[in-house]
Amino acid sequence: MTSNAEIVLRLDAITKRFGKLVANDAISLSLHRGEVVALLGENGAGKTTLMNILFGGYTADSGSVQVFGQTLPPGNSRAALDAGVGMVHQHFTLADNLTVLENIALGAQPMTDVRLSKKEIYNKIKILSDEFNLKVDPSARVGSLAVGERQRVEILKALYRDVKILILDEPTAVLTPQEADDLFGTLSLGIKNGLSIIFISHKLHEVMAISNRVAVLRHGKLVAETLTADTDKNALSALMMGTAAKSPDITLANPGKTLLSLQDVTTPDIGNSPGLKSVSLELKAGQIVGLAGVSGNGQAALADVVGGMRMPSQGALVLNGKTLTQWSPRAAVQNGIARIPEDRHKTGTIADFDLTENAILEGYSTAPFSKGGWISWKNAKQFVTDIIEKYDVRCPGPDTRIRLLSGGNMQKLILGRVLEADPQIVLANQPVRGLDIGAVNYVHSQLLAARDRGAAVLLISEDLDEVMDLSDVIHVIAGGRLSPGFARGTMTPAELGIWMAGQGFDAQVAHAS
Amino acid sequence: MRLEPIADPSLARSIAPPAIAIIATVVIASLLAMLAGANPFSVLGLILKGAFGSQFALLETLNRATPLIFTGLAIAVAFKAKFWNIGAEAQLYAGALITVVLGTGALPWPSFALIPALAIGAVLAGAVVLLVPAILKTRFGVDEVVTTLLFNFIFLLFISMLLEGPLKDPMGMGWPKSARLISEARLPRIFDGLRLHWGFALALLCACAVWVIQTRSTLGYEMRAVGLNRDAAAFAGIPVNAVLVKTALLSGGLAALAGFSEVAGLKGSLTLDLSPGFGYTGIIVAMLALLNPLGVIVSALFVAGIFVGADSMSRAAGVPTYLADMMLATALLLMVLAIMLTRFRVVRD
């Protein structure tokens, strides 16, 4: 449809190698005016590298980047910005202690230019936010905003600089379904106003919904480029993975005895994030309990309690029939709790440790990895080699620093680390956030396998589809309060949405009184 | 111009910048020598000759390197866990203090018992001195850079007070100086007739021990994990605060051995000029060694060589000894730059 329109961005035979790995192999791609091109690929396929080259973060080994016909000097991070290309990163680049207005003006406005008043910046932001339907208060402090709002600020930041080309890296990974719909609305408005968009994703239904054209990357190669209208989800999935993706079959649970229960547990609030408010929860053997809820409603507090990071300030934590008086991360590990942390980069792994050192992060102080205060690197190496093989961790070897692995492979190592101990309870906090379909299915099948082995699984996720697909029992958390448990298939997304908005609780209280 | 991170630096990338930094240091030192009015080649030759050119010079360099190995190890151990111990100077004096308190006749033991007792006493004293900032940090979040740095001055004044009072040598003709160690407390020489004491051997032994601890023990693993990512370490169940305290004990103990070795091996008594800043120079030694305990031996020899060589050079060439300080400062700055260049490459816009 847009093939006649002017080409605004052309990537010409971009090649980038990291040691032996070819991250981008002669990739050519062009973007026309008013077009949405979806860049689709698994983690590690080379999407991020390609965008880093466009923005001068990396220098390509060969090939060139042209914006509006002008070749960008390689390795210059300002060149792309100055040429009118803006990017909204998956991990936001905002200063929490500044206001929305200050964040937007920062860098876009010459520091020395005193003529432009705050009022004018404010007005320009207001006009942009009306024009693109990006509702946000310019005087609000960014630290107080929800994730969806922060993303709007990021988009406004790009629009404020009059970008003509907008690149969005996994923009919906942090959004609720409603927020994602709003975002798509904004993008449509952008197209009408002459923007051209590159949309990086691995969520197929979004790619189908928003893009005009799809480019699929696999192992650093551009394996397909097609009009969205000429393809479908299955074909794209097959292109992306190399084989057709298969989500795990869900079988019915066969719940056993209660392994861990929280009884009227209360924890203090942490900053803006609410603590638990008299929460009672039972985790039973052979059952997946899903925790649905909007981000920042007490999920972190619950994960902290189950994972040993925090002791309830009120209420009891009962493990295998015994009320716990001492509770720590190490006690949790020793009591057979497998913890998959929310942030695998910051808390799950140590970036500059190699795979071996990361694999024994929880077990280093006990046999077989520790012998009288000395680490048995031989046993550690054996352990990590087994994990690499069994969990299909793609890496150059056990001596590789884990920072060099893709998110999916990092998560596989964490899965191996915690699941090889044959845990009785699995705490999976956002286990597939930011992962590609292949890795998502893999993680889900491992959680199901753990359940079928008789483990109790607590799945915390902001992705309602994920919770509804996997969980045998669903609880909703809102404002630190926990809803009753709903059995699989008894609730619709809309009904759960009411609880997620914090409304069901009041009815429950009214009903009880 | 700007910096681009290198995801996985090659071996050459890790070695070349530090090597170039050393060469650049020599070149800049030559220029400084020219500014001071001397022939740069003869100055460098004189430094080398003064540091390593004769048996006497070499032994002098080894003796000077000994306390630097101890303080360098103390800093390397602490910095590896991101515990910023700037107080090696105070810990050194704590070790020296215990050595003179117990070694001037209080313990009338034979050498084989007295010397180990003094060394252990020194280690404990240094550990206790650093324990206070460590507890302040882990309990109350007090910044250890401030506490350890300021404690240096407090402790030096405390030593000064003792040397003017209870520890003052009655035979010292009024100088602020402690009594001399009894002969059983003196570290013997390694080789008869050569002025090199067993403190040097102990320093080498400590460097090897620290290396083994860091790479092989669970404590070393914990210290490295805490240094690289405190959040992940805490999540995995590593007792972060306990590890920091243990690190502080080890670091303080190592720094105190410098004081023990200087008093028992070289000086024989405690004076206020026992350390010409070994505690601070230890930071340079540790940084030059990239915090590697075995590298500390090499960098301590390098730094000691410059000091000893510059002393002798300044006498021969009539150039101020401050040239040595400037060379060290240059070496440190260039090495910090080199460390950065092992992880980033400079890209021209």
Same fold for the domain at A7-241 and the one at A258-336+423-512?
A: yes
What is the Rg, in whole angstroms, of the alpha carbon atoms belonging to chain A?
24
Q: Tell me which amino acid residue B46 is.
A: L
**Which candidate, A363, A362, A22, A376, places its Cα nearest to that of A219?**
A22
CB-side neighbour CA atoms (13 Å) of B25: 26
ipTM above 0.85, yes or no: yes
Q: How far is B159 from chain A (nearest CA, A)?
A: 38
Asked if B218's CB is within 8 angstroms of A77's CB, the reply is no
**Which candidate, B80, B84, B75, places its Cα nearest to that of B227?**
B80
Asked if A329's CB is within 8 angstroms of B348's CB, the reply is no
CB A261: neighbour CB atoms within 10 A? 18
Distances (CA, A) of B146 to A360, A382, A496, B72, B266: 35, 44, 53, 20, 32
Query: What are B39-56's pLDDT values in tens digits?
Result: 888 888 888 888 998 998
In whole angstroms, give the CA distance from residue A166 to residue A158: 8
This prediction's pTM: 0.77
What CATH fold (topology level) applies to the domain A258-336+423-512?
Rossmann fold (3.40.50)
Q: Chain B within 8 Å of A18 (Cβ-Cβ)?
A: yes
Q: Return the domain boundaries, chain A.
A: 7-241, 258-336+423-512, 345-405
Asked if B231's CB is within 8 angstroms of A401's CB, the reply is no
Q: How confident is the model at residue A512 (pLDDT cuts 50, 70, 90)?
A: very low
In whole angstroms, give the CA distance from residue A47 to residue A406: 12
Q: Shortest CB distance from A309 goes to which of B235, B239, B349?
A: B235
Give the pLDDT of residue B328: 78
Token pair 């005087």 is found at A139
Query: What are B172-184's pLDDT values in tens digits?
Result: 777 888 989 999 9
Which of 3.30.460.80, 3.30.200.20, 1.10.3720.10, 3.40.50.300 would CATH assign to domain A7-241? 3.40.50.300
Q: Chain B within 8 Å of A373 (Cβ-Cβ)?
A: yes
Asked if A349's CB is within 8 angstroms of B347's CB, the reply is no
The H-or-E segment that residue B193 falls in is: none
Mean pLDDT of chain A: 86
Asked if A361's CB is within 8 angstroms of B232's CB, the reply is yes
Query: What are B19-35's pLDDT values in tens digits?
Result: 888 889 888 888 888 88
Q: Chain A within 8 Å of B12 (Cβ-Cβ)?
A: no
In whole angstroms, give the CA distance from residue A291 to residue A301: 12
pLDDT at A245 over 60: no
Asked if B347's CB is within 8 angstroms of A375's CB, the reply is no
The A residues from 141 to 180 touching B (CB cutoff 8 Å) are none
Q: Shortest CB distance from A75 goes to which of B228, B236, B347?
A: B347
Chain B positions touching A329 (Cβ under 8 A) are 234-237
Tokens for B99, please give them: 């050595």
- Which of A140-149, A473-482, B212-221 shows the lowest mean pLDDT across its residues? A140-149
CB A89: neighbour CB atoms within 10 A? 16
Query: What are B233-264's pLDDT values in tens digits?
Result: 999 999 999 999 999 999 999 999 999 999 99
pLDDT at A120 over 90: no
- Which of B234-238, B333-337, B339-343 shows the lowest mean pLDDT across its residues? B339-343
In whole angstroms, give the CA distance from residue B40 to residue B319: 11
Arithmetic mean of pLDDT, A183-190: 88
Token pair 């699989």 is found at A488
Contact predicate B36/B168, CB 8 Å: no
Question: For A328, which residue in chain B has the nearest alpha carbon?
Answer: B237
Q: Tell me which amino acid residue A363 is.
A: G
Token pair 């792994």 is found at A349
In whole angstroms, give the CA distance from residue A14 to residue A21: 14
Mean pLDDT of chain B: 90
Q: Shortest CB distance from B229 goes to which of A79, A350, A362?
A: A350
Q: Chain A within 8 Å of B11 (Cβ-Cβ)?
A: no
Q: Chain B within 8 Å of A330 (Cβ-Cβ)?
A: yes
Q: Chain B within 8 Å of A421 (Cβ-Cβ)?
A: no
Arithmetic mean of pLDDT, A278-284: 95
Q: Chain B within 8 Å of A377 (Cβ-Cβ)?
A: yes
Tokens for B101, please give them: 């308190």
Q: How far is A504 from chain B (nearest CA, A)?
A: 34
